[in-house]
Each structure stands twice: as C-alpha cells, then as structure tokens.
Structure 1
C-alpha cells in the first residue's frame, strides 16, 4: 500500500504532501522533491523541518493544515 510523504514545518504544520509511489520509498528522495537544492534541504533540516511518511488515516488527519484551517501558526500570530 502506498503512503503519503508530508513536508512538516517546525511548528508541526504540514506544508505539502506527495504520494509515496510518486516520490519514492526514501525520505531523502521525498525531501528532494519538495526542496531540490541540497543546501536548502540542509538549512530546512537544521531549522526543524522534517519529512514523514503516513498512511491514509495519517493523511486525512493533516488535511486541516493543507486547507489552512489548522491551529499551528495561530499561537504566534
């Protein structure tokens, strides 16, 4: 079964997603798809960005982030 790679910012908000069968089975490959330049990927990792694989239920749970309806950034706004 194919999962979904999520690009997650340091607050825990999901910034983007891609299906595993498109991006590949490795987190490094998925991160390359989101952020092509290696220097930029290193900066993101150092700042707390991460890429995680989830199943369909995990993807459904993060939909508020993708629709701009989550609570992640509101604490600092």
Structure 2
C-alpha cells in the first residue's frame, strides 16, 4: 500500500507499507476457531520537500494577488 499525504507548503509524506492478512487457527481442548489477523508493516516513510513559493495566501488558488511581493534574490545577484 502507498499513501501520499500533503503537509505544510509544497511538502508530501510518502508512506509505503505491506498489507498482510493471515488466517490463524487456534486450537484448545474440545474446540478450535479460525481467526483472520491483518496488519500493515511499514517499509519506508519519506518526506519530500518542494520549493517554497515567494508568497502563500492559503486560499487555494482563488486568484488573489499578494499585497506585498518579495524581491527575487536571483535578479539582485545578477546586477
């Protein structure tokens, strides 16, 4: 199983796990019972960090422009 959960600004948490389902037969004197046991075994969990934007307004793309725009560092270094 693979789960990808977004968190923060441009970050994702990737969780890879193995789903195991086992049928177990429990035997006691004069009776027996079959049970199903399931479990997720994590194989790898990794956080992927994306590039941080110049601004974040949290509106999810409503088209609102920022009230203050930060200067781009690359342009200032080129001067």
State TM-score, norm by structure 2.
0.23
Whose radius of gyration is greater, 1 or 2? Answer: 2
More helix by share: 1
State TM-score, norm by structure 1.
0.24
